[in-house]
Structure 1
């Protein structure tokens, strides 16, 4: 229904159930709209119409869907040799930038990385003739619609726009009205399939206890005719825990969730597609558009958030006309949420049956052999496992956990090697604002450093201790201007006492008085010592009276 309208160049809104082939519904018209060298050789286009910049753009919400759409378009465009490149986060920028420089016809990408490269002028969108928004309702739920609008504003005004989604909320309809020109709304469904879910998918809803769920899942995975299975969890921690428990029970299980690096996520998906792993435990990042052949069972380990998530989860099985089984384990706390989903989808499972891992009806309805336990027998452990699939080095940038921490530590070590040896800083010792040189680090008998004798002698109005004369040598007057010590102002009973001015030898020399004659005793040597500061008032007065007067 979509192909004739899309090939004519009109805008299209495509709405259909999951698993009905929406990718090729927009992929084939997209590949026909680009101009490649084969068209020039066949005479369908002129040489000046060729360009190395993208001619078509597909915007998808998740990285897993980005890689899948890219592979589908590469397969469909192999005959015409159409160049298709995936642009998404979690990988290094350099390979994606190099691919854009070499030339590309179709770009498939997630909104964040597309905006990033377009802002750096590494991605040119001026020649885009066709835009496709895949899973637009999921981009609305993830908060990508503002980024999508920024991307659409960078595109040429004359273009073809196609919007595809399984559900069509009001915000997506508003986006279509703003940016699309007279779109044709195509809603495809089979005449005998009136419900919201696919009729070929068998649904089972059980009320289960959270502590019994791992045992139930291990027994369900041993049902007869079970091929590949996908287990959906609501949280990343639960997905990692269930995958680890199933591995301990002997199952070849892998995990896909947001806490894993992009390399580990792609490793698990490749192992699942190649059959090395037959159980994939994942969060809702793998609930959109993931198409793997041979998926027979989908298990909702935890109840989904809403009816749209439920539809996309169980849509991983029963695709392209095949049959499948969808099992939902609802905890007691999730019964109100499930009843809302049941009412919205008009299902008949409003009151799920209380079920345990030993319940007879569980074995009967799902075809589990009698006597099955929660550990896979060793004779049936034939899968190679997740370790058999190599992890591709994607040059991941940043991120949480070990994938970002190791790169940061190695970068710091490289910087330490390049940094020159640091010279230790030497402290400059100062006293009274003037630098002090030549101190010895030994302490004197009175508790002061040996270097302090210079300052002490200067305060006493004599030469430094290193140049002091012997005890029996005459003391000569000081030639340099000595530093006058600061005299404390002493008071007695609250009234200021008379202060005795201290006159120095240079001051008296300036006034014309003669210097006193040298005295042959040790009194000057005693005065050269630092004076002790006494605090009692009577001792201070007696000390002043004992001072020799001038003349």
Structure 2
């Protein structure tokens, strides 16, 4: 394998890479860097995770010189925010021993910090099309001197509908420039774009013709799983022997958050990246995953190309993607930098037709996914899961019942106690009232020091047992007078009379 020092790269860049343990070049880098350094336009095509960023980044940094003048001299356009952050970090590494300044321009963050860096004279801009056009339209971003232009993940830009924006950007850069276009796949519209905006480009494919469309170092497992059993299956896969960092892809942002909550409840150290999260939250979650503070990341496809982590061992497709290109980019999050990886895909019954198309396009030779449940023996052997593993970690904390649930439980507890003839669960006020009916002095009903009613007199009505039937609704005689002094309702008298002598005529 060729080292970077053998490719004619400046020593300060070689040293910056070596400080991170990066010494040898990958095939795409080995083929593109010698052509990019003198200024040849390049179309670079290679599988995701094979080092395309350094393939175009090293020529850009070296061609600008060790001490370039302030102002934007190089523009790198990427389709997503996550990829902008990843490319920015790689270019920042390459310029760590130079005075060159790099700025990331993308949406979801405040304008002020990005504008300040541009005004400070940043020479390399990494950005997404929307924010780049926005700042250029406000005359805060001057691209008239950007003689180095790179389109990264051009096929994703096509998928996201950015081709019209790319044309606007090319109208703002110099006509004479050095242009590089990199992508994992090369659909027709991208080839047409390259012919229109590039000058005699050389098309480089860093693929082994015997390797097939997928990376040989990734093991692909496809299961037909029931949607109600997926969470349990995933939880058991996350306990496989040798599992490192794991990325789980879902189709929707709601499904992503639901899975984050479910796996967190089961005791896993999980984070999420999806559209319902703010940009700051997404960046913190991604940073925690890269730093190893979280070892499981649940993401939607928007983040697929921005996850550049070398030690991802497993990729799990919670839901099958719509096309083979998306599948390749998802699976490409593992097996990076020459390492091995495992890609597990769940196919719902209603999505079998999608799998048939992907299987045919990628030549998997597996038209019928294996029907799989969390108890299936082949799941354990395929993924090296210890026998007897369950879908919940033993260290998972027990969730405390919310206060609302505890309040709802109190009336139920009182009802159960009443059915058993006990006082458990009844309120203190109710117990005090019962004590008063057995001779205790309650309130002002009794004159202090006596047992007679406060109204006194020989005609005074006897004390009424408050636990007797109908008690508590009278101030006077329980059989004839209501609280307001009027006769008690007829219905009440009939009910009471029914318990005594038989009605007349019986």
Query: Do the two structures share a fold, i.e. TM-score over 0.5?
Result: yes
Deviation sequence 1:290-311 (CA, Å, 0-9, x none): 2112110000000011000000
**Which of 168, 172, 177 is 2:195 aligned to?**
177
- For residue 254 of structure 2, what is the aligned residue in structure 1? 237
1:57-76: per-residue Cα shift (whole Å, max 9, x none)?
00000001101101101111
Structure 1 residue 151 and structure 2 residue 181: aligned?
Answer: no
Give 2:388's aligned residue: 371
1:5 maps onto 2:22 in alignment: no
Distance 1:104 1:36, change over 3 A: farther
Deviation, structure 1 residue 165: 0.1
Matched residue, 2:340: 323
Paired with 1:106 and 1:251, the residues of 2 have a C-alpha distance of 39
The equivalent position to 2:98 in structure 1, one of 76, 80, 99, is 80
Please show how residues 428-439 of structure 1 align to structure 2 within 5 Å: none
Q: Does 1:211 align with 2:228?
A: yes
Task: Determine the C-alpha separation between the residues in 1 that align with 2:182 and 2:226.
Answer: 38
C-alpha contact (below 8 Å) 1:18/1:289 kept by paired residues? no
Segments ≥4 residues shifted beyond 6 Å: none
Give the drift of 1:187: 0.5
Alignment match of 1:333 (pick from 344, 350, 354): 350
What displacement does 1:81 show? 2.7
- Find the aligned partners of 2:48 and 2:256 in 1 and give their Cα distance: 23
Q: Which residue among 144, 152, 155 is the counterpart of 1:126?
A: 144
Match of 1:262 in 2: 279
- Higher mean displacement: 72-81 or 152-161: 72-81
Aligned to 1:279: 296
Give the Cα–Cα distance (whole angstroms) in 2 for the partners of residues 352 and 293 of structure 1: 29
Aligned to 1:34: 64
Which structure's CA Rg is the greater one? 1
Q: Does 1:168 align with 2:198?
A: no
Aligned residues of 2:81 and 2:306 also touching (Cα < 8 A): no
| Residue 198 of structure 1, CA deviation | 0.4
Return 5+ residue gaps in structure 2 as ranges: 1-30, 398-506
Structure 2 residue aligned with 1:539? none
- Map of 1:310 onto structure 2: 327
Structure-1 separation of matches of 2:217 and 2:274: 28
Q: By how many angstroms is 1:150 displaced?
A: 0.1
- How far apart, CA to CA, are the structure 1 residues paired with 2:330 and 2:147? 33
Contact 2:245 2:311 in 1 (8 A): yes
Partner of 2:157 in structure 1?
A: 139
Counterpart contact for 2:84–2:306, Cα < 8 Å: no
d(CA) in 2 for partners of 1:325, 1:178: 39
Q: What is the CA-CA distance between 1:77 and the residue it aligns to? A: 1.3
Corresponding residue for 1:105?
A: 123
1:35, CA displacement in angstroms?
3.7
CA distance in 2 between partners of 1:33 and 1:258 (Å): 37
Maintained 8 Å contact 1:56/1:128: yes
Assess if the C-alpha contact under 8 Å between 2:310 and 2:337 holds in 1. no
| 1:352 alignment partner, one of 363, 369, 384 | 369
Tell me how far 1:322 sits from its aligned partner. Answer: 0.2
Give the alignment's TM-score, normalised by structure 2. 0.71
Aligned to 1:378, the other structure's residue is in SS state coil
Q: Return the alpha-carbon distance in structure 2 between the equivalents of residues 158 and 241 of structure 1.
A: 50
Q: How many Å apart are 1:191 and its aligned residue?
A: 5.6
Deviation at 1:192, TM superposition (A): 4.7
Distance 1:54 1:36, change over 3 A: farther
* 1:138-186 Cα deviation digits (max 9, x unpaired): 0000011111110011111010110000000111111111111110000
Aligned-partner SS, 1:288: helix
Counterpart of 2:113 (choices 81, 86, 95) is: 95
Secondary structure, in 3 states, of the residue corresponding to 2:134? helix
Q: Is 1:342 the counterpart of 2:348 in the alignment?
A: no
Aligned to 2:5: none
CA offset digits 1:358-394 (Å, max 9, x no partner) = 0111111111111111101218x9xxxxxxxxxxxxx
SS in 1 for 2:108: coil
Which residue of 2 is the match for residue 67 of structure 1?
85
Cα distance in 2 for partners of 1:14, 1:233 equals 29
**How far apart, in 2, do the equivalents of 1:59 and 1:377 lie?**
46
Give, in whole Å, the separation in 1 of the partners of 2:73 and 2:41.
16
Q: Using the alignment, how far apart are the partners of 1:125 and 1:197 within structure 2?
A: 38
2:421 paired residue number: none
C-alpha root-mean-square deviation of aligned residues, in Å? 1.2
8 Å contact from structure 1 (residues 206, 354) kept in 2? yes
- Give the C-alpha shift of residue 51 in structure 1: 3.0
What is the match of residue 444 of structure 2? Answer: none
SS in 2 for 1:20: coil
CA distance in structure 1 between the partners assigned to 2:112 and 2:303 by the alignment: 26
Provide the secondary structure at the position in 1 that maps to 2:320.
coil
Q: Distance in 2 between matches of 1:289 and 1:268?
A: 13
Task: State the match for 1:18 in structure 2.
Answer: 48
CA shift, 1:36, in A, is 4.3
Give the distance between the partners of 2:179 and 2:376, measured in 1 at CA: 52
